[in-house]
Structure 1
């Protein structure tokens, strides 16, 4: 559960570093919560409950993505480019060579 709580605590930290595991565990937990909220919204008759949750967690997710790309050694602004952000978030740190 720390993989979910820690990014929420670091919502406004766009310069630190985050691991691959932390990024994907947050992504997984967030999607599970959205799925559960989607079922609950149908059962309770409350529209867009999952959408509201996604809007509330958008900034922590972007901050986590920025930190992930920073840790991998890429320009963190690439996280805002669709599809590229998911591919780069999977990559481990760049290897630096002295060649």
Structure 2
């Protein structure tokens, strides 16, 4: 799956928490969110829209809010692809360890064939 196809797929399922997402879809979207935040930060600095005492500005805040639901949705679908429930996203609330566990889950290969969340997106 290419970068553009992954972004289109995520935004076409903006709040779709059902089904499965391939690793490439998840990681391309993760790269996209990083690039958007870098561009937003540069624009905030250049236009003087930074909030005092904060590293975020108005454009960064709007971009973060716009990408929140699609990021959650693709994360849940990625967990579904490894045959885990989306509630595993909450493990990120556990300091340090939760984030590492979540990264491991996102890196794991898909469950082959159909699982309880639907058919494999690889086929």
User: What is the TM-score normalised by the length of structure 1?
Assistant: 0.86
Aligned length: 96
1:72 aligns with 2:82: yes
CA displacement 1:6-52 (0-9 Å, x = unmatched): 21120221111100010000000110111011011100112322122
User: What is the TM-score normalised by the length of structure 2?
Assistant: 0.71
1:10 paired residue number: 13
Runs of 4+ in 1 over 4 A off after TM superposition: none
Instruction: Judging by fraction of residues, say which structure has more helix.
Output: 1
* Range 24-33 or range 47-56, more displaced: 47-56
User: What displacement does 1:94 show?
Assistant: 4.3
1:23 paired residue number: 26
Unmatched tracts of structure 1, length 5 or more: none
1:41 aligns with 2:44: yes
